Amino acid sequence: MAERKAGKKKNEETPGEVVINIYGLDGAVIETIGLPPVFSTPFRPDLIRRAVVAAQANRRQRYGPATTSGMRHAVSTWGKGRGVARVQRIKAGRKAAQSPNNVGGRRAHPPRPEHHFTKMINVKERRLATASALAATAVQSTVKARGHLFKEDLTLPVVVVDAVEELNRTKDIYNALGSLGLDMDLKRASEGKHIRAGRGKMRGRRFRQPKSILIVASEGSALLSGARNLPGVNTISPKNLNTELLAPGGDPGRLVLFSKKAFTALGGN
């Protein structure tokens, strides 16, 4: 009698749904909620950085000198036989001009205004990068690696009851964040503010400040405007989330706070 080959039974078990806490304004746990499917997106740091670099490059403006820079004067050369360099000189004078090797002359290799800095990225890649950066905000090790400070028992991303959207005073918002144990990250961003190195300090960007919490709330809510004065904090509505806000500088793992309404807009239960 031929023996029957026992085939391998396929594992039909699926991992349990990941749940996180919903906190009240006093920091107490009100209920739990499951993470939307977008938070199961594979981690793609390469796409995240590409999307951020493309967004930054596409904002750059083209620049360059005027076509007559360094040439706005009548010049002539003395020719040979005078024992001086044969360069263009301003008429009725001795000052050398116009040549790149002379003071006040035109530049040898100036930036060209016709050059563009845009970088292309596929639409599907950009969307995947945003989803991957959003998923990274739920991984504590990734958020800690970015330098953020928060309580150890806090579930990420931080989801707060909808009453937080009604806060319009910066002081009230700061107190609510302190109850959640997020004020230490605000302090880190405030103390990390420093004068920029290099000539950028003379060109309208004198200070640099670390990024702190990203607050996501419903569009038009008072929280979006009331939290702007907090150091290092950015505010945005769910439909305007992008990779650059979720992963500033191309480094994923930003500390994010959602209102419950904004979190469910991502597809949560």
CA distance 252 to 259: 21
Burial degree of 61 (CB within 10 A; 0-12, 13-18, 19+): exposed
Q: What is the CATH number of the domain that holds 164?
A: 3.40.1370.10
Q: CA–CA distance from 170 to each of 28, 101, 166 (Å)? A: 21, 56, 12
The bridge status of strand 214-216 relative to strand 88-90 is: unpaired
Are 169 and 232 members of one domain?
Answer: yes
Other beta carbons less than 10 A from residue 93's beta carbon:
10
> Which amino acid appears at position 227 of this protein?
A
The bridge status of strand 158-160 relative to strand 256-259 is: parallel
Which tokens in the block code for residue 132? 């991957």
Residue 52: which residues within 8 A CB-CB, separation 6 or more? 129, 243, 244, 247, 248, 249, 250
Q: Please state the length of the chain.
A: 269
Range of the domain at 105: 69-116
Are 245 and 208 members of one domain?
Answer: yes
Other beta carbons less than 10 A from residue 225's beta carbon:
12
236 occurs within a structural domain: yes
Are 127 and 216 members of one domain?
Answer: yes
Burial degree of 70 (CB within 10 A; 0-12, 13-18, 19+): middle
Output the furthest CA–CA distance in the chain (Å, rounded): 117
pLDDT at 268: 53
Report yes or no: 75 and 97 within 8 Å, Cβ to Cβ: yes
CA distance 209 to 57: 21
Q: How many domains does the chain have?
A: 2
Are 40 and 92 members of one domain?
Answer: no
pLDDT at 110: 93
Tens-binned pLDDT, residue by residue, of the chain (269 aa):
444 444 444 333 334 578 999 999 999 999 999 999 999 999 999 999 999 999 999 999 999 999 888 888 899 999 899 899 989 999 888 899 988 998 888 999 999 999 999 999 999 999 999 999 999 999 999 999 999 999 999 999 999 999 999 999 999 999 999 999 999 999 999 999 999 999 999 999 999 999 999 999 999 999 999 999 999 999 999 999 999 999 999 999 999 999 999 999 998 54
10 occurs within a structural domain: no
